[in-house]
Structure 1
Amino acid sequence: MASNQPAPEAPSPSATLDGFGSPGDSDKAWEEWNPTEDSLRPVRGRHRVAKQRGLARSSTVLGVGVIAAVGAGGMATAQSKPPVSISLPDSLADNLPDAKSVPGLGALITAVESDDTPEPVVSAAPFTTAGLTTAETEQGATDAGEALRARILQQAEQQRSAADADAKAAEEAAAATKAATEAKKQQGEAEAKAAAEKKAAEEAAAKKAEAERLAKLAASYALPTSSYTITSTFGEAGTMWASGQHTGLDFAAPTGTPVKAVHGGTVKSAGWSGSYGYRTVLELDDGTEIWYCHQSSMDVVVGQQVSTGDTIGRVGATGNVTGPHLHLEVHTPDGTGIDPMAWLTDKGLAV
């Protein structure tokens, strides 16, 4: 007959832990507690989704379990499981490189062996120096924003200096152009003034030379008579002259007024000449002929040499006249009659 034996009781915490979780019995085996063991079991039935959600949070549960174990008395260590040794085949171990020859690793091993911990490499330049040039760094600049502002201001200053230089150059060019124009104008005025002065001097010199010439000629030429009045000039038109115009210059003067040689020469003819009355022709050295007409008397003969101012006859009214006067004509060497007044004026005589 079966007897009802009581079920074995579950071990109490005091049987497993001594005090606050320290192992109380060294003879009992301790195993590591896996808080996710139950959640990793296969889940069947309607609670599958809920079990999977618990699995998703397994890492969080594990972390909470670890913190709880530390608070209860420290993390348990695995004492029941012996350490596992890892061995490599001789063929693979023989072909592995020396750890000290691996780049980066060898220096670390050497530093560990010599207890000389390498100092971490720290960038010498702070983040604020990003964008700084070498020249700016050498000048003591430490802030990139301030350096950028300084560069912008420097560029603006350079541009303003360049603009000022361009404006100054333009002003200097304009001033130079104005000065050149003014100098050219002054030079032109000076040249014009010099030319005018030169022309005036030349005219004065020519006038003076002409005066000297006329004075010299006047000394060698003389008016044909004195106390006269000009009554008819060369070229006047009228019916009293056979040619229709006057061919000489009339000096009206009282009868008997002396008629003089205007220049030295030779008497070419002297006598009656129709409408000219008594006429004397005096030939000068250059071949010019001077005709003295309407004389009342003649004091020279043909071939006689006379000098300037010598009396060669007297004023009269012989020939075709309306009153006593001296009719004077001038003929060039080829026989052409010219204006006696212009000829006498050219010789320096004021008629």
Structure 2
Amino acid sequence: MTAIPEIPGVVTADQIRATGAAIAGMQEESGALPWFPGGQTDPWDHIESAMALSVTGFHAEAEAAYEWSRRKQRHDGSWPIRTVCGTVEDAGTDSNFCAYIAVGVWHHYLITADDAFLQRMWPVVWSAIDCVLRFQRPDGAFRWGGDHRTGAMFGEALITGNSSIFQALDCAIRIAAEVDQPDEDWIAAHAKLGAAIRADIEREEWEIFTPPSEHSMDWYYPILGGAVRGKVGQELIARRWDEFVVPGKGVRCVDHRPWVTGAETCELALALDSLGDTADAIELIASIQHLRDPDGSYWTGLVFADGKRWPVEKSCWTSAAVVLAADAVSRTSVANGIFRDVRQSLVVTPRDEEPATVL
């Protein structure tokens, strides 16, 4: 029987199980996990939602989601950015979206210890990471995306996406080791990316990555993805805490707007937990329980200036973020450290750079 996360005084195990059921209820027959029924499916949020299904004991539904990823992967290892009810609406490639399959597969394997699942998904992970590594620039950063038709790549490297790729590479390296097929290129790419992220963060200048936007994700993701930890991470959080955190309500998605969102709040909680600030993480999770619906799902956000939920949707990935944060702070599932345990450095072997067409 699956142990379900709970946070005393904040959310019960029965409530978290209901959240998992709400996510499963949004799943399409194909296995896709859209933002909401009838909405778009993107490869990253689809995997995050599958991870929440694994945590809450919906293993068959999670595996149906991974099977969707396996079937829909293109020959070059990528997935379309946006699919709606089975129809591709944006055929472009996002390097971060493609990398995240490694996080989900490793997470599900930790929970289930299913060797057959790992062997089935290994070619998918290998192809995806092989695709993603083509986007790495000589300075270690990854270009955010490209044109699937021509293979040309966009030059910008975004800090949020790169931070997530850092975690994905760590999980991919773990998978490769588990199937006894270690890849030195992946290890070298991971090291080079981590060094690039830390260089910009520590000097507080953006020479490698595009300067952070007004969105809170650009603030905490270097910690959430695992490239930044310790004192540097603590200082990074302190730097913009008052801009984004609204006590008792949650975390702003955008620094100047009176709008808090459940997913960003729970992601920040995961980042704080990875720094050892679990008490503050729990307080953040508690602060967005006003977004909980009686059916177990969570509304995306609240405009606290007028008390209105916006957008008027209960998003699959918001519910997933709550589940993953609850699992992390409660130390419940075997995979509860999927964010906390990201390794900052590995033994590296240099690899040759591959030229890329840059738009």
TM range (shorter): under 0.3
Greater length-normalized contact order (CA 8 Å, ≥ 6 residues apart): 2
TM superposition score normalised by structure 1: 0.17
TM-score (norm. length: structure 2): 0.16
* Larger relative helix fraction: 2
Higher normalized strand content (fraction of residues): 1
